[in-house]
Amino acid sequence: MRDLLNAATEHAADYFESMSERPVGARMDPATAREALHSELPDGPVDSRKVLDDLVADADPGITAMGSPRFFGFVIGGTLPSALAADWMASAWDQNAGLASPTPAAAAIEEVTGGWLIDLLGLPADSSFAFVTGCQMAHVTALAAARHRVLADAGWNVEAEGLIGAPRVRVLAGEERHVTLDRALRLLGLGSACIEPVACDESGAILPDALAEQLAAGSGPAIVCAQAGNVNTGAVDPLDAVCDASEGTGAWVHVDGAFGLWAQTSPARRELLRGHDRADSWATDAHKWLSVPYDCGIAFVADAEAHRAAMSAHAAYLQQGEPVREPLDWNPEFSRRARSMPVYAALRSLGRSGVAELTDRLCACAERFAERLGELEDFEVLAHGLNQVLVRPRGDDSLTDRLVAEIQRDGTCWTSATTWRGRRCMRISVCNWQTTSEDVDRSLEAITEARRTATGGGFSAGGVG
């Protein structure tokens, strides 16, 4: 066991040490990886050390350095050393963290970490929480609590009766909401057709007057879904005004704060979220901004009773000793890993000031990208908010895709493409704990060079000096 784990540690350390110079992107496409990694199930056992070494050698060319300080695709965080080490311990201890009494330490760490997050994210002190796989499952968890409350207020017990025959639930959400919200509503049986899209401004932030009008135009149980951090533009909905519009209507307000909720951790940026603590539930990720390994999202609910009513599970064989906070009463999962441990380690190793520094640095790096690209005639910056930048090379839409492909091929950094309001754009998402202004400058050089290559070496209005 010791030799094998030491070997795994060596492989992991080699990987991290290679990070600053290896190409950020994978050196294989999915079809080649499938071919290279295809093998028959062995008829008998294979030595564990050989299994490990082969896995590393075979997989490495198909691994993207998503933890690189110059990986800017999607919204993907890296992993802090403290969080990775604690995650290894969570795997080594292999606790089933669904129940408290068989694993009191895992349950206590979950409670401590939940409390720290509530404090750090500026949420009501007695909010309940659940550590789930990601922000989408945090939506499922929080919206199950919302579904419970708005239907209970309408005299319907959804946990007992299901949704057949239930009053129809309206969900009012910005037209630029994240796709995972729709899927969460589908999983909850509310269906995506229950969504009434609300108009947004140019940046993708909800228009509160449109929301108020739409709320007034209908009746019955309602859930309002706001967003802190649009995946393309970084825009934050005006949360105070969203809560004003919803107040007195009986609507539940849920906030998708997958990454944007972390703005609260910086005294310089928390004004952006003003009013967020007036909402009823919040969903966020720890595997993005906080830099813990996949997978970890967190749901928070102000109405703990609704949360518990939506999630709790009882069986005689589960009850061991005195009743305590049983994690499985708050989660959609039954058995699960001790997901809070790496979050605990990340928060302890950074402290309040370290998280604020991280927040400010990621936002400052995105600002630097936006400013420098905005100075170049060849590029048009369409939006910039928090740690996100939306930019396109001047030219037709196909140039954006050629540019992104060239950036990925070059390997200095990694960006991804998107369609925003009908135009192909490039997204730059700064979400790695190691990214510095030097990484931004090195990436800017690569991006301007890639633009030259993507246009066939044509005229460029100026490099990055």
Q: Applying CB under 6 A, which residues contact ligand PLP?
A: 75, 134-136, 178, 180, 229, 231, 256, 258-259, 285, 297
HEC-encoded secondary structure of 160-207: HHCCCCCCCCEEEEECCCCHHHHHHHHHCCCCHHHEEEECECCCCCEC
Structure tokens at 352: 């309040």
The 10 Å CB-count burial string (b at 16+, else e) for 190-229 is: beeebbbebebeebbbbbbebbbebbeeeeebbbbbbbbb
User: Which residue, 182 or 329, is less far from ligand PLP as judged by CB?
Assistant: 182
Nearer to ligand PLP, 69 or 229 (CB): 229
* 198/173 Cα distance (integer angstroms): 6
Nearer to ligand PLP, 256 or 378 (CB): 256
Concatenated DSSP letters of 51-75: HHHHHHHHHGGG---TTSTTB-STT
* Residue facing ligand PLP at closest CB distance: 134
For residues 134 and 238, which CB has a smaller minimum distance to ligand PLP in the complex?
A: 134
Which amino acid, residue 447? I
Q: Which helix (H) or strand (E) holds 423?
A: strand 423-429
Which H helix or E strand runs over 298? strand 297-301
C-alpha closest to that of 87 among 131, 50, 118, 121: 131
What is the smallest separation between the CB atom of 23 and ligand PLP, expressed in angstroms?
24
Closer by beta carbon to ligand PLP, 136 or else 203: 136
What is the C-alpha to C-alpha distance for residues 49 and 4, in angstroms, rounded to an integer?
6
> What is the Cα–Cα distance from 48 to 169, expressed in whole angstroms?
53
Tokens encoding 248? 């007195």
CB of 182 to ligand PLP, least distance (A): 11
The span from the CA of 286 to the CA of 290, in Å, is 5
Task: Name the phi and psi angles at 330, rounded to 5.
Answer: -120, -5
Cβ atoms of 262 and 255 closer than 8 Å: no
> Is the Cβ of residue 27 or residue 336 nearer to ligand PLP in the bound state?
336
Closer CB to ligand PLP, residue 134 or residue 332? 134
- Closest approach of ligand PLP to the CB of residue 258, in Å: 3
What is the closest distance, in whole angstroms, from the C-beta atom of residue 296 to ligand PLP in the complex? 8
> C-beta of 455: minimal distance to ligand PLP in Å?
30
Question: Residue 180 or residue 340: which is nearer to ligand PLP going by CB?
Answer: 180
- Distance in Å, CB of 432 to ligand PLP, minimum: 14
Which amino acid appears at position 450 of this protein?
A
Of 396, 432, 431, 401, residue with least CA distance to 417: 401
Distance of closest approach, residue 297 Cβ to ligand PLP, in angstroms: 5
Return the residue matching tokens 């105070």: 240
Give bridge partners of residue 339 from the DSSP assignment.
none
Other C-beta atoms within 10 Å of 77: how many? Answer: 27
Tokens of 392: 């396109």
Looking at beta carbons only, is 135 or 311 nearer to ligand PLP?
135
Residue 255 Cβ vs ligand PLP, minimum distance, rounded to whole Å: 10
Task: Tokens for 201, please give them.
Answer: 């401004």
Least distance to ligand PLP, CB of residue 134, Å: 3
Which one, 24 or 283, has the nearer CB to ligand PLP?
283
Closest-CA residue to 280 (of 251, 244, 248) = 251
Instruction: Work out how close the CB of 82 gets to ligand PLP at its nearest, in angstroms, rounded to a whole number.
Output: 21
> Which residue, 136 or 331, is less far from ligand PLP as judged by CB?
136
| Main-chain phi, psi angles of 173, to 5 degrees | -140, 150
Smallest separation (angstroms) from ligand PLP to the CB of 27: 25
Of 259 and 379, which has the nearer Cβ to ligand PLP?
259
Would you say 212 and 245 are in contact if contact means Cβ atoms under 8 Å apart? Answer: yes
Closest approach of ligand PLP to the CB of residue 54, in Å: 30
